[in-house]
């Protein structure tokens, strides 16, 4: 950990904490964390980079050491995150870099690749969200309801939010943050090294109606709420994704790496209300014709097939006996694919 340098970096858009490792002047690799997370989750992966590469890992807006006064305008989809990342690269005099995204970070990088294809040397997507958004989205990419009911902040367990706001570090109930991590974010019975620091990164997420989980508005459609205008979870709502496949014309080589047993980004995600309704976990589900489970992995597979058809290169790696965080769960297998990708 002594090889990690933490600095507050100020850009015209955002002041945030950024972690660095590796030689100055090395080939830059930028790591973008997911939800319930922070830059700290990447530290071990950063330190394992091959010689000649330098690592950069920022806390995203609404997370960790980012300026708490700066909110995510969810109506722009992941546009605020993409613009923040471009501004950070400008401030650090990085014209182009290898980009790595996990989960929500992967959703950010679909947008960044569309916005700034010339700045991406390669893209590594680790269990990324579907390009169409997260939850309550049909196979063709359209929301189940025009107002996005079932997407965004209203789909988040309020007990988890309350416990995070209290800084709860135990695992006494299934809604405790540590219990959520140990049940869903990596495959049990695995627990990563440095779990205390990882949990601290989770609890540094900014909490509130303009942060996590964001605001919601009443809806006449099941389950009764639709996305509001603020926060990172609302930014993933399908109704706010302006051009989900806008990255298809880019040419950066893509590595899509995921765990075979990921319960979060999945065809039948346990965090999608369509799945939970179909299992009887939430009453009143209107049925598969109205509100089907979102086929998240299949949507990404189809998008990447279109990317290849347009001339892009895609490498696919699925790690068996692995959940939502392959770089933590199976670092040797992750590094083998990831290092080969960025060296290539």
- Which pLDDT value is given to residue 1? 44
Reply yes or no on whether the pLDDT at 339 is more than 90. Answer: yes
User: Nearest Cα to 126, choosing from 22, 42, 239, 238?
Assistant: 42
For residues 113, 117, 121, 123, the Cα torsion angle rounded to the nearest 10 degrees is 20
The two structure tokens encoding residue 314: 């895609």
Is the pLDDT reported for residue 212 higher than 90? yes
- Measured CA to CA, the distance from residue 127 to residue 238 in angstroms comes to 18
Radius of gyration of the chain (CA): 19
Nearest to 127 by CA among 104, 153, 151: 104
Mean pLDDT confidence for 145-150: 98
Domain-by-domain residue ranges, the chain? 5-143+241-343
Phi, psi for 51 (deg, rounded to 5): -60, 145
φ and ψ at 268, to 5 degrees? 105, 40
For the segment 269-277, the average pLDDT, to the nearest whole number, is 98
The answer to whether 258 and 316 have CB atoms below 8 angstroms apart is no
In the Cβ-directed half-sphere of 116, how many Cα atoms lie within 13 Å?
Answer: 24
Residues 175-184 pLDDT 10s: 999 999 999 9
pLDDT band at 202 (very low <50, low <70, confident <90, very high): very high
pTM, whole model, 2 decimals? 0.98
- Strand pairing of 314-319 and 27-32? unpaired
pLDDT score, position 89 = 98
Tokens representing 178?
Answer: 């540590």
With residue 177 as reference, give the H or E element that holds it. Answer: helix 177-180
CB of 136 closer than 8 Å to CB of 274 = yes
Q: How many CB atoms lie within 10 A of CB 339?
A: 14
**Mean pLDDT value of segment 137-150:** 98
**Plot region of 342 (φ>0 → left; ψ -120 to 50 → alpha; else → beta):** alpha
Task: Give the model's pLDDT for residue 244.
Answer: 98
- The residue among 116, 121, 126, 79 whose CA lies nearest residue 316 is 126
Q: How confident is the model at residue 2 (pLDDT cuts 50, 70, 90)?
A: low
Which CATH entry fits the domain spanning 5-143+241-343: 3.20.20.30, 2.40.30.210, 3.30.70.120, 3.40.50.1820?
Answer: 3.40.50.1820
Residue 93: CB atoms within 10 A of its CB come to 7
**DSSP track, 189-229:** T---TTHHHHHHHHHTS-EETTSEE--EEE-SSTTSEEE-S
Average pLDDT value over all residues in the chain: 97
At residue 109, does pLDDT exceed 50?
Answer: yes
Q: Does pLDDT of 284 surpass 90?
A: yes
Look at residues 244, 33, 239 and name the one whose alpha carbon lies nearest to residue 137.
Answer: 239
Percentage of the chain modeled with pLDDT above 70: 99
Query: Following CA atoms 96, 100, 106, 107 in sequence, which dihedral angle do they give, to the nearest 10 degrees?
Result: -20
Mean pLDDT of 83-87: 98
- Which phi and psi (to 5°) does residue 108 adopt? -60, -40
Instruction: Render the burial of 294-319: b for 16+ CB within 10 Å, e for the rest.
Output: bbbbebbbbbbeebeeeebebbebeb
């Amino acid at each position: 950990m002594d090889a990690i340098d933490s600095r507050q970096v100020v850009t015209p858009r955002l002041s945030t904490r950024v972690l660095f490792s590796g030689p100055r002047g090395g080939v830059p690799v930028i790591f973008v964390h997911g939800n319930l997370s922070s830059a700290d989750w990447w530290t071990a992966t950063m330190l394992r980079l091959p010689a000649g590469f330098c690592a950069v890992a920022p806390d995203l807006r609404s997370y960790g050491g980012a300026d708490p006064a700066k909110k995510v305008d969810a109506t722009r989809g992941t546009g605020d995150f993409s613009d923040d990342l471009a501004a950070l690269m400008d401030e650090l005099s990085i014209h182009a870099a290898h980009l790595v995204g996990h989960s929500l970070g992967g959703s950010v990088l679909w947008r960044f690749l569309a916005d700034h294809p010339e700045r991406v040397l390669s893209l590594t997507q680790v269990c990324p969200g579907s390009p169409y958004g997260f939850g309550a989205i049909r196979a063709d990419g359209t929301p189940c309801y025009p107002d996005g009911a079932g997407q965004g902040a209203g789909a988040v367990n309020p007990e988890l939010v309350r416990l995070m706001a209290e800084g709860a570090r135990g695992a006494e109930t299934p809604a405790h943050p540590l219990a959520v991590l140990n049940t869903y974010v990596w495959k049990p019975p695995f627990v990563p090294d440095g779990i205390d620091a990882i949990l601290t990164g989770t609890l540094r997420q900014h909490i509130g109606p303009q942060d996590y989980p964001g605001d919601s508005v009443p809806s006449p459609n099941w389950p009764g709420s639709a996305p509001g205008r603020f926060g990172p979870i609302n930014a993933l709502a399908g109704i706010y994704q302006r051009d989900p496949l806008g990255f298809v014309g880019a040419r950066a080589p893509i590595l899509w790496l995921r765990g075979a047993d990921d319960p979060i980004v999945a065809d039948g995600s346990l965090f999608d209300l369509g799945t939970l309704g179909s299992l009887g976990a939430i009453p009143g589900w209107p049925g598969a014709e109205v509100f089907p489970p979102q086929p998240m992995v299949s949507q990404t597979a189809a998008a990447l097939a279109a990317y290849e058809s347009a001339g892009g290169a895609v490498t696919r790696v699925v790690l068996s006996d692995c959940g939502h965080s392959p770089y933590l769960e199976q670092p040797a297998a992750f590094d083998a694919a990831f290092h080969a990708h960025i060296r290539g």
